[in-house]
Chains A and B, each alone.
Chain A
C-alpha cells in the first residue's frame, strides 16, 4: 500500500483515538479521566469535548504562567523524544489539525504558494505567543488565538453548553475570524497553519536534521523531474534538502519518485518496502 493511504489511515485513527469521548454529547462536559494527564504530540485542544488527552502547547503555557519553576519537563520530554525519534513526522501522520488541512486542500479551488518568509511565523508564534507573553502576563495567549481551539473547543462547547454563550465577547469574535481565515487559507494553500503559525511544528522542525529517522536523496539516481516537489504537502524542494525544517515526513515523495531516489533510514538502517525488495531480487 502506498504511504499516502497508510498515512490517511494513521491520521484518521489518531484523530479518532485522541477525540474519543463521545459520552460528552450526553454529559455536556469535557473528559476528566486519567488520560487527560497525557500530552499527545499533536495540536489537539483539550477544551474539545471529545478530547481525551492534553495539548502540549497549552500545557507549556500553563506551566510558564503558573508553574513553580515555569518549565514542564514532562511535556518537553514527550515532545523531545518524539522529535528526536521521528522529527516532524507527528505533523504528517498524527496531528488531527494536519489531517484537516490535507482534506480541505483537496477542495477544488485556485491554489496559491506560501511565500517562504512566512515560514518564520511559526517560530514567532512559539517565541512570542507561547513562551514570552504567557510568562510575562500569566495568560495563555496562544490558546486565546489558536484556531484549533476555536474549531475543536469553542464551537462544540458552545453548542453543548448554551449557558457559556452569555460570556462571549470580543475575544470570541477575534477567534472566529482567525478560524475562518485559516479554513479559507487551508483550501487555497498547502498546510498554511503548519508552515506559518504552528508552534508545535516549530518545535519539531528543530529535530528534522537530528532525528533517528532521516530522509535522503540518491543524487546519482535523481533526474530532477520535480515529481517529489509537486506532491510535497509543504512545498519543500525535496531533492535539494530532504530534511528541511518544513518537511513533515509524509513520505509521499518516496512514493512518486520514478527512480526510487528518495529513501529513508531508521537509526542508520535503510527501510525498504516489499515492492522494492522484490524489484531488487
Chain B
C-alpha cells in the first residue's frame, strides 16, 4: 500500500485538477491575478 501511495495521490490530484479546469477556475484565477494585489504590496 505504501508503494502505491504516490500513484494514488497522483491520480487523486490529477482528477482534482481536471475538475478545477472544468469548473472554470482558470478564468477566476486569471481574473484575480491580473488585478494588482494591494494586500500583497502592503496597502489595505
Contacts and interface: CB of A to CB of B under 8 A. Distances in A.
Q: How large is the interface on B (under 10, 10 to 19, 20 to 34, 35 or more residues)?
A: 35 or more
Nearest to B15: A77
B26 to A, nearest CB: 4
Chain B interface mostly = helix
Nearest to A169: B43
Q: How large is the interface on A (under 10, 10 to 19, 20 to 34, 35 or more residues)?
A: 35 or more
A271 interface: no
Contacts of B25: 63, 72-75
B40 A153 contact: yes
Contacts, number: 149
Contact of B21 (A29, A30, A74, A139): A74
Contacts of B32: 54, 58-59, 62
A45 interface: yes
Interface string A64-104: 00010000111111111101110000000000000000000
A146 to B, nearest CB: 7
Interface of B: 2-3, 5-7, 9-10, 12-21, 23, 25-30, 32-34, 36-44
10 contacts: A36-B33, A37-B30, A47-B37, A59-B29, A76-B13, A77-B18, A80-B16, A83-B13, A85-B10, A164-B41
